[in-house]
Amino acid sequence: MSIAGETSTGSKRPDLLFGPDASDVPRQMVRAHGCIVHGANGREYLDFIMGLGAVALGYGNAAVNLAVHAAVDRGTVGPLPPEDEAELAEELRVIIPRMEQVRFLKTGAEAVAAAVRIARAATKRDLVLGCGYHGWLDWCNSGPGIPQSTQSVFGTIPFNDPVGTRQAIRAAGDRLACVVIEPVIDAAPTAEWLAVVRVETQQLGALLVIDEVKTAFRIALGGATELWRVEPDLIVLGKAIANGYPLAVVGGRADVMQHVQQSWISSTLATEFVSLAAARATIAEIKRTNALTHLASVGARLFTGLTRLAEQYAMAGVHCAGISQMCYLRYDDEARSARVAAECARRGLLFKRTAYNFVSLAHDEQSVDSALKTLGEVLASC
């Protein structure tokens, strides 16, 4: 095959979705609409993966499509920044007042890396502590191809562990540039943990970066920053912000964001018309349809059903993790997780076996109940 690893998006590899030995599962798609995916094999699938969380309004949302078509007709990209850039930045500042200034990029990984670079420029320090998944770039990963020197200036803090987090931050001391956290990792954050992260970074003169790539425009318009009243120095947005079109944002306090000028952070297609228009239409549609209330409602129905299944199959090592709007079944047995995901796909359900599955405006109670019925039948047989 001409594509290394079968697909350019690693998380969409068939072996990751369905296990290494799965047969008769969808490997490619030809279109998607609402919460239905049309496979290249001619079958239709009820989908809860939702573009790995990039889609909250449903695939092919009419209002977003209309805005995108108009943006394409305007020329897509040009030699000057479009006026849409400043207009969207102002909309985001109203939604998340702590984002006094922003920069647009294309992917969440790129935007979190930009936040880290800004933090290092602002503090003149190198060490970063992270909590969660922040993308594939060198600064937060280890393994082949990543210099040891890069790995040596990154460490981790434990999620929802105030004592362990305090110890890790204090041990970093005045070497610490910033702490980057995902606010949801298999559960909601505790107020105590969030307070420890904020207080300890402030006392050291380090910055707090909140990675809202999955949570913003899903659990609230302003994500965890709004819902749990977090006060970060920098915020990163992505995924659902443009309902499937490539856009990410790094923003925060103006005095911190001014340090972007000390480094070179630039992307040729960061300011094309299409994704900026898609984001503005997405924000408008979320507000018009009261979409986030719908996500909370259908998400709660899904989460409750998954909890019941986890209780039923607890002895088999099945657990429910996440929060209503982004949840999944976690398995002690990797082989079982693969069997369940593959068999669900054979029955017309795409349900991720690792973090996370996502509800959308296109899902309703019937689609949630259908998914839970299929999962129940498959768990009984696997």
Mean pLDDT along residues 75-98: 97
Q: Are residues 195 and 146 in the same domain?
A: yes
pLDDT of residue 48: 98
Amino acid identity of residue 189, one-letter, is P
CB within 8 A of 253, min separation 6: which ones?
98, 100, 101, 233, 234
For residue 324, the domain's CATH number is: 3.90.1150.10
Q: Are residues 15 and 114 in the same domain?
A: no
CB within 8 A of 179, min separation 6: which ones?
128, 129, 130, 131, 157, 169, 197, 201, 206, 207, 208, 209
| Pairwise CA distance, residues 200 & 171, whole Å | 11
pLDDT of residue 283: 98
Q: Are residues 157 and 240 in the same domain?
A: yes
User: What DSSP string describes 182-240?
Assistant: -S-SSSPPPHHHHHHHHHHHHHHT-EEEEEETTTBTTTBTTHHHHHS----SEEEE-GG
| Extended strands (E) in 132-175 | 154-156
Counting the structural domains of the chain, the total is 2
CB 329 within 8 A of CB 309: yes
Residue 122 DSSP symbol = H
Mean pLDDT along residues 118-143: 98
| Pairwise CA distance, residues 226 & 216, whole Å | 9
Mean pLDDT along residues 119-143: 98
Q: Are residues 270 and 184 in the same domain?
A: yes
Q: Tell me: pLDDT of 165 over 80.
A: yes
Residue 189 DSSP symbol = P
Q: Which residues pair with 79 in a beta bridge?
A: none
Q: Are residues 305 and 282 in the same domain?
A: no
CB 240 within 8 A of CB 215: no
Decide if 236 is inside a domain: yes
Only one residue has tokens 């998380």, namely 11
Q: Which residues pair with 155 in a beta bridge?
A: 129
CB 118 within 8 A of CB 259: yes
Decide if 120 is inside a domain: yes
Q: Tell me: pLDDT of 1 over 80.
A: no
Decide if 69 is inside a domain: no
Mean pLDDT of the chain: 97
pLDDT of residue 208: 98
Q: Tell me: pLDDT of 13 over 80.
A: yes
Decide if 3 is inside a domain: no
CB 328 within 8 A of CB 355: yes
pLDDT of residue 199: 98
For residue 278, the domain's CATH number is: 3.40.640.10
Domain boundary among 288, 305, 339: 288
| Pairwise CA distance, residues 86 & 63, whole Å | 21
pLDDT of residue 382: 85
Mean pLDDT along residues 47-69: 98
pLDDT of residue 21: 87
Decide if 271 is inside a domain: yes
CB 156 within 8 A of CB 133: no
Mean pLDDT along residues 12-39: 96
Tens-place pLDDT, residues 276-325: 999 999 999 999 999 999 999 999 999 999 999 999 999 999 999 999 99
Domain boundary among 270, 288, 306: 288
| Pairwise CA distance, residues 290 & 129, whole Å | 36
| Pairwise CA distance, residues 177 & 41, whole Å | 49
Only one residue has tokens 């890790």, namely 168
Q: Are residues 367 and 244 in the same domain?
A: no
Q: Are residues 152 and 265 in the same domain?
A: yes
CB 103 within 8 A of CB 93: no
Mean pLDDT along residues 333-356: 97
User: What DSSP string describes 228-290?
Assistant: S----SEEEE-GGGGTTS--EEEEE-HHHHGGGGGS----TTTT-HHHHHHHHHHHHHHHHHT
Only one residue has tokens 């594509």, namely 3
Q: Tell me: pLDDT of 42 over 90.
A: yes
Q: Are residues 174 and 245 in the same domain?
A: yes
* Residue span of the structural domain in which 235 resides: 78-288
Decide if 54 is inside a domain: yes
Residue 322 DSSP symbol = E
Q: Are residues 122 and 40 in the same domain?
A: no
| Pairwise CA distance, residues 90 & 87, whole Å | 5
Q: Are residues 277 and 301 in the same domain?
A: no
Mean pLDDT along residues 236-252: 98
Domain boundary among 288, 321, 339: 288
Decide if 372 is inside a domain: yes
Q: Are residues 98 and 145 in the same domain?
A: yes
Q: Are residues 258 and 358 in the same domain?
A: no
State the pLDDT confidence band at 237, using cuts at 50, 70 and 90.
very high
Beta pairing, strands 176-181 & 127-131? parallel
Decide if 73 is inside a domain: no
Mean pLDDT along residues 347-368: 98
